[in-house]
Amino acid sequence: MTNNPDAEEKGFTLIEVLLAMIIVMVSATSVLMWQKTSWSQTSTTNRLMVAGHVIEKQLEKQRMTIAENPSANFASFVQNSTMVVVDSSVTPYITVLWTIYAPDSLKDPQTGNNLNNVRKVQISAGYGSGPADTLKVVTAISKNF
């Protein structure tokens, strides 16, 4: 260092270094928090997709059962009933609740008559621990395809 006050100083002061470190730490913390949120949302989305797949698989299985023998198998698809199915093909298990409504819950839009060969079905798949972790689907299953 020289005694000349007009000499140009080189390097950073302690305050500049500390300020730069604080900015880097705040930025890194923000990125890590964003990453944690992203992982959590991805996990929830994956569980939701699996629940949807399980519902689709069970619906197709029920439709195929009815198609094998429509008279006998559709009659066993009891109205105003509830059935619980646990799908063990995925981990953690997904519990599916079927609610089958009476024929009078569906009416022909043109005539207003009950559709006796169609059952309205609500299917709820629980894929987590809370009520928000439930996928609900309302559809209809017909005796004749």
pLDDT at 28: 94
Per-residue model confidence (pLDDT) at position 105: 64
Half-sphere exposure (CA, 13 Å, Cβ side) for 19? 5
Domain ranges of the chain: 14-142
Tokens representing 60 are: 């197709």
pLDDT over 70 percentage in the chain: 81
- Name the pTM for this structure: 0.64
CB 63 within 8 A of CB 55: no
Distance CA 106, CA 116 (A): 8
Give the tens place of pLDDT for each residue, 12-37.
789 999 999 999 999 999 999 998 88
Rounded Cα distance between 26 and 24, Å, is 6
Three-state secondary structure string covering 1-62: CCCCCCCCCCCCCHHHHHHHHHHHHHHHHHHHHHHHHHHHHHHHHHHHHHHHHHHHHHHHHH
In the structure encoding, which two tokens stand for residue 134, read together?
Answer: 């439930």
SS3 107: strand
Residue 120 or residue 25, greater confidence:
25
